[in-house]
Amino acid sequence: MLDLARVVAASARYEIPEPHPGARALARDACRFLGALVRTLQPRRVLEFGSGFSSVVIARELGRLGSGRLDSIDHSPAWSARAREMARGHGVLDRVELRAFPLGLRLHDGVPSVFYLVPPDFYGDDRYELVLVDGPGHEVGRDGALPEALPRLTVPGWVVLDDGRAEHVQRALARWKARFGPALRWSDCVELGNGIVLAEKVAEPAPGARLGPGPRIGAWLRAGRNLVRVERLGLNRDRVDRLAAPGGPA
């Protein structure tokens, strides 16, 4: 059983790589918590949605442990390339696989969401013990993160959700709780960075856990709205101005 209070206390003493990229990266205290959590759990495989400085924090800690591998996914080749350069600069590139996949319509058990178009063979056969959800950004929705990750997560296994105080994340969290029920045990929001919420996978979700007609219609409406946002914001087009923006990727 994870002692969350002890991890939070340990994070106050955890030293992250320097320099920290700034406001657009995962907040300093959240990075310290993430590093302390990886040190505590000692996972062999970690999955990350949303690449950046957090990828360096995870990969460096896996390197210190002497084992483990991070698979990090982002929608932007530019952000992925920036994260790769940071990982190379900190000498941890051998611990991380950084890949960019565009955003698009996904179906998980018939439920739609806008999420990364990851080829099924990317993940391989071994399951992950830890998943960090820090994307997609721009409020295009994170509904697809848990349906994508849960079948690939061990029991027990852990999910770390960033931006836990954001309203759109809170709404996704409520939908996940309703959909997956007792398969996950959730923490309260930890007041670090923009808020961190943890979930422990304690069982496989009930077979055929599906939405009723009302929630299913709502899911299709959200997916349609978010597809429009992806196009309007140009999220599937590499934009050099984002790469050059102060702070870099999250």
> Would you kindly state where each structural domain of the chain is located, as residue ranges?
26-243
CATH code of 26-243, in short, is 3.40.50.150
pLDDT band at 21 (very low <50, low <70, confident <90, very high): confident
> Does 192 have pLDDT greater than 50?
yes
pLDDT band at 246 (very low <50, low <70, confident <90, very high): very low
Taking the C-alpha atoms of residue 60 and residue 90, their distance in angstroms, rounded to an integer, is 8
> Does 250 have pLDDT greater than 60?
no
pLDDT at 201 (0 to 100):
98
For range 170-190, the mean pLDDT: 95
Pairwise pLDDT comparison (210 vs 89), residue with the higher score: 89
Taking the C-alpha atoms of residue 43 and residue 49, their distance in angstroms, rounded to an integer, is 17
pLDDT at 177 (0 to 100):
95
* Range with lowest mean pLDDT among 76-85, 210-219, 222-231: 210-219
Spell out a b/e string for 152-173, using b for 16 or more CB atoms within 10 Å of the CB, else e.
Answer: bbeeebbbbbbbbeeeebeebb
Strand partners, 106: 113
pTM for the predicted model, two decimal places: 0.92
> Does 245 have pLDDT greater than 70?
no
Q: Among 101, 99, 170, 121, which residue's Cα sits nearest to residue 141?
A: 170
Taking the C-alpha atoms of residue 11 and residue 3, their distance in angstroms, rounded to an integer, is 13
* Mean pLDDT, all residues of the chain: 91
